[in-house]
Amino acid sequence: MNNPRLQSHKTTQLPLSHLLLALAIVAVWGTNFVVIKNCLAAFPPFLFAALRYFFALLPMAFFIPRPKVSWGNLCIYGLATGVGQFGVMYYAMNNQISPGLASLVIQTQVFFTIGFAMFFAKEGLKPYQAVAVAVAMTGLVIIALHTDATTTFLGIALVVFSGFSWGIANTVSRRAGSINMLSYVVWASAFSIPPLLFISLAFEGGTDHLANVLIAAPLGAWIGVLWQSWGNTLFGYAAWGWLLSKHPAAVVAPAPLLVPIFGMGASAFFLSESLPLWKVTAAGLVIAGLVVNLFWPTLQAKLRQYF
């Protein structure tokens, strides 16, 4: 049976305050890809992800009560974001895909989020939204046609899987209903940590090796971990989950398509990642899809006033 609270969301566009919040979130998420790349120089990917969620959970769990949602819901969200989204994406970014392109490919979450909403919440896909998705998908196809030493097919596939996992997390968080999203993200982190640690211990070295890694990590890497935990996870995903609880997925989900602007720009500035014409074209198509999805209803209403 469908959650009645999900069916009550009728807005087809974001209010200005919600749009500004979405922009703040994607700015944090986009520039974060540079932080991730720098931290991966000090930590192996799955250990890095485990640290991210460890500090998202503690000490906040001592001050924030568990949200009124099932343990199963928290578990699925924690596994989807911790292991499926970030564990896998960190692994891909370690040597399979550049930060700027990762920030673009991860936006496949839009298609998965909208698809899951259509299937589970019976949300319809309007014609202009279908056009927006098609335009953005064209940009992603261009990326797939330009693999090289820094970006492999495996890297692209892994980050697409991360987008799939993000879509699952979006769907699960929306089905949680009207809850405290900060509390939700904090407590869901408890389910991210054990599998990430297990994978790290199994494939990234034993306890002695990982302990040496932690001891040898420079201060800048630890600051990056805390930024991942508090800025990216607690602020970014709590605010993102709140927006998803207030609006249809097809309206909110395309907002992170702006992430590549910040991601590719920051990667070019701080990491000297090249921006050839095909990358700019791909990013332009993805952003064009976002613009169509977000602003077509307003533009259509104004055109009707004159015609």
pLDDT for 6 beyond 50: no
Look at residue 2 and tell me whether its pLDDT is greater than 70.
no
pLDDT digits (tens, 9 = 90+) for 51-68: 999 999 998 999 999 999
pTM of this prediction exceeds 0.85: no
Q: Which DSSP symbol is given to 86?
A: I
The pLDDT of residue 9: 43
User: CB of 157 within 8 A of CB of 97?
Assistant: no
Per-residue pLDDT band for 207 (boundaries 50, 70, 90) equals: very high
Could you give the count of Cα atoms lying within 13 Å of 76 in the half-sphere of its Cβ? 14
Q: Is 276 helix (H, G, I), strand (E, B) or coil?
A: coil
Assign 286 a pLDDT band (cuts: 50, 70, 90).
Answer: confident
Residue 122 has pLDDT above 70, yes or no: no
Q: What pLDDT, on the 0 to 100 scale, is given for residue 307? A: 67
CB atoms within 10 A of CB 163: 23
Give 124-148 pLDDT, tens digit per residue.
Answer: 677 887 888 888 888 878 887 877 7
Taking residues 84-90, report their average pLDDT: 96
Q: What is the pLDDT of residue 91?
A: 96
Bigger pLDDT: 164 vs 111: 164
C-beta separation of 203 from 46 below 8 A = yes
